[in-house]
C-alpha cells in the first residue's frame, strides 16, 4: 500500500491553463470542417471544483482509510488523505467522518464505500455502503454521527437503503443575478462541477436571448422543447426566456426531482413529461399516445427552439430528424465525437452560430461542448 493519491501527479493547477488549451485545440481541429465561429472557452477553477466523490474504504486491521487504485490496476492501493479536485466541504467531511468512525467498530465494520455529494451553496449528503445488513443498532449510531457532522447520512447495503433524514441535497445556483433552486437526489445525475454549471446555464440563457423570441412588447413569443432534461437543470434557468417549456426525461428519479424544482422556483410555465426522446418524437408525430402526456395539448405549443443534452451516445437518427424541424437548436454534448456525427446531418439544414467548451472535468480528456444552430436561409 502506498501513501499517495494515484491522480495527484496529474492535478497541478500551475499547468491547468495549458491543459485547457490542449482541449480547446482538439475541439477546433475536430469541428474545423463545419467552419464554426470562434470557440468560447469556459475555464474551471483549477482546484476544489468537483461537488461529488466516492472512495473505497480500505481496512488494515483495526485501521481504515480512503483508498483509490492505480488506473487499470486494482492490485495497487493508494491511501487518499486529501482530494484537491473535490470541494473544500468534501475534504473537510472526509477527515471528520474518518476520525469519527475509526474508533466505532459498529460503524466501521464492513464499511465498503463512502460517497459524498455537496453543493455550491454548502449542503452535503454522505452515503455509507456496507457489506452487512443494517439494523437498529447501526441506525442509532449513524443518527448520532449525523448529528455530530451536521449533514444527513444514507446507509446502503444489499437490497437495503436507510434514509435517516433525507436522500437529497438542496442546491442554490446564482445565474445572471437570479437564484435557481434544485433538489439533487442521491444516486441521480447532477452536474459535477457546480461553478461550471452556472457558466453553462448563463451561456444557454444568452443563446436564448439571441434567438428572435419576443413579441412587440418584449415578451417571449414561442415555446422551448427540451429533450433529456434530467432534474430540470436547463428548464429552470430558461423558463423566463420562453413562453412555455415542455421537457422530457425517462428517469423516474430525475422527473420527481424536476417536479420539486418547478415548485421551489415557483414556475407555472414548465411541464416535465416522463418519456424517452424516441417516445416523445412518436407522440409529436401522432404515431402513439401516452397516458403520461394526458392533459398536455401538444398542438397548442409553438416550438421554434429545441434544447438537447443527450448521453454520450448522442442523438439517435430519428431524434436528429426531429430536431431538424426546429429553427433553433441548442445542443449540449458530453461527447464531442458523437456531436460531430450528429452535426454531419444537422448542418445540412442549420449552421453553427455559437461554439463553446465547458471544462466540467479538468485534468481529464472529457470535454463538454455547447453549440447553437439556426436554420439556414433558403438560397
Inform me whether the pLDDT recorded for 7 exceeds 60: no
Contact indicator for 198, 51 with CB cutoff of 8 Å? no
pLDDT at 173 over 70: yes
pLDDT attached to residue 2 = 47
The residues, any chain, with a CB within 8 Å of residue 246's CB and separated by 6 or more, are 223, 224, 225, 226, 271, 273, 296, 298, 301, 303
pLDDT of residue 215: 61
pLDDT number for residue 213: 65
**Pair type for strands 153-157 and 124-130:** parallel
Q: How confident is the model over 104-115, as pLDDT tens digits?
A: 999 999 999 999
State the cell numbers at 226. Answer: 427540451
Residues annotated catalytic, as ranges: 334, 368
Residue 289 pLDDT: 87
Average pLDDT over residues 333-342: 96
> How far is CA 203 from each of CA 51, 207, 327, rounded to the nearest angstrom?
21, 6, 19
Count CB-CB contacts under 10 A for residue 45: 16
Residues 343, 89: Cα–Cα separation, whole Å: 40
| Most distant CA pair in the chain, distance | 75
Predicted pLDDT of residue 379: 56
The domains of the chain, with CATH numbers, are 12-46+189-375 (3.40.50.150), 52-169 (2.40.50.1070)
Nearest to 225 by CA among 175, 277, 173: 277
**If 0-12 CB within 10 Å is exposed, 13-18 middle and 19+ buried, where does residue 273 land?**
buried
Mean pLDDT of the chain: 92
**The pLDDT value given to residue 216:** 61
Number of helices (H) and strands (E) in the chain: give both, helices first: 10, 17
Report the C-alpha gap between 162 and 183 in whole angstroms.
19
- Pairwise CA distance, residues 296 & 8, whole Å: 51
DSSP secondary structure, 329-376, as one string: EEEEES-HHHHHHHHHHHTTTEEEEEEEEE-SSTTSS--EEEEEEEEP
Confidence of residue 192 (pLDDT cuts 50, 70, 90): very high
Task: List pLDDT tens digits, range 252-277.
Answer: 999 999 999 999 999 999 999 999 88
Question: Residue 185 forms beta bridges with which residues?
Answer: 168
Assigned C-alpha cell, 378? 433558403
pLDDT of 190 strictly over 80: yes
All three cell numbers of 279 = 417516445
Q: Which of 68-82, 261-275, 314-328 has the lowest mean pLDDT?
A: 68-82
Cα–Cα distance for residue pair 11/29, rounded to 1 Å: 25
At 62, the pLDDT band (50, 70, 90 cuts) reads: confident
Does residue 212 have a pLDDT over 70? Answer: no
Amino acid at each position: 500500500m502506498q501513501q499517495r493519491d494515484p491522480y495527484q501527479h496529474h492535478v497541478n493547477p500551475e499547468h491547468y491553463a495549458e491543459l485547457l488549451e490542449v482541449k480547446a485545440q482538439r475541439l477546433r481541429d475536430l469541428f474545423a470542417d463545419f467552419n464554426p465561429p470562434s470557440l468560447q472557452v469556459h475555464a474551471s477553477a483549477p482546484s476544489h471544483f468537483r461537488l461529488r466523490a466516492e472512495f473505497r474504504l480500505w481496512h488494515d486491521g483495526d485501521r481504515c482509510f480512503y483508498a483509490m487504485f492505480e488506473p487499470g490496476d486494482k492490485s495497487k492501493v493508494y491511501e487518499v488523505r486529501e482530494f484537491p479536485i473535490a470541494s473544500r466541504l468534501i475534504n473537510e467531511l472526509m477527515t471528520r467522518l474518518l476520525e469519527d468512525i475509526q474508533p466505532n467498530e459498529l460503524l466501521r465494520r464492513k464499511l465498503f464505500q463512502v460517497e459524498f455529494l455537496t453543493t455550491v451553496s454548502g449542503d452535503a449528503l454522505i452515503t455509507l455502503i456496507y457489506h452487512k445488513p443494517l439494523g437498529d443498532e447501526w441506525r442509532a449510531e449513524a443518527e448520532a454521527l449525523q448529528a455530530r457532522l451536521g449533514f444527513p447520512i444514507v446507509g446502503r447495503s444489499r437490497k437495503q437503503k436507510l434514509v435517516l433524514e433525507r436522500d437529497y441535497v438542496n442546491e442554490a445556483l446564482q445565474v445572471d443575478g437570479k437564484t435557481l433552486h434544485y433538489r439533487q437526489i442521491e444516486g441521480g445525475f447532477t452536474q459535477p462541477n457546480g461553478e461550471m454549471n452556472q457558466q453553462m446555464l448563463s451561456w444557454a440563457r444568452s443563446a436564448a436571448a439571441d434567438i428572435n423570441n419576443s413579441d412587440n412588447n418584449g415578451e417571449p413569443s414561442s415555446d422551448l422543447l427540451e429533450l433529456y432534461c434530467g432534474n430540470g437543470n436547463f428548464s429552470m434557468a430558461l423558463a423566463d426566456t420562453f413562453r412555455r417549456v415542455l421537457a422530457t426525461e425517462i428517469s423516474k428519479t430525475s422527473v420527481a426531482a424536476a417536479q420539486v424544482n418547478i415548485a421551489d422556483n415557483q414556475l407555472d410555465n414548465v411541464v416535465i413529461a416522463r418519456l424517452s426522446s424516441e417516445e416523445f418524437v412518436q407522440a409529436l408525430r401522432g404515431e402513439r399516445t401516452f397516458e403520461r402526456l394526458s392533459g398536455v395539448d401538444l398542438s397548442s405549443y409553438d416550438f421554434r427552439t429545441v434544447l438537447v443534452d443527450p448521453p454520450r451516445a448522442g442523438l439517435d437518427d430519428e431524434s436528429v430528424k426531429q430536431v431538424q424541424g426546429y429553427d433553433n437548436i441548442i445542443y449540449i454534448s458530453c461527447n464531442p465525437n458523437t456531436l460531430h456525427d450528429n452535426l454531419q446531418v444537422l448542418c445540412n439544414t442549420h449552421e453553427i452560430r455559437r461554439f463553446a467548451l465547458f471544462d466540467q472535468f479538468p485534468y481529464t480528456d472529457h470535454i463538454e461542448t455547447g453549440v447553437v444552430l439556426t436554420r439556414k436561409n433558403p438560397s
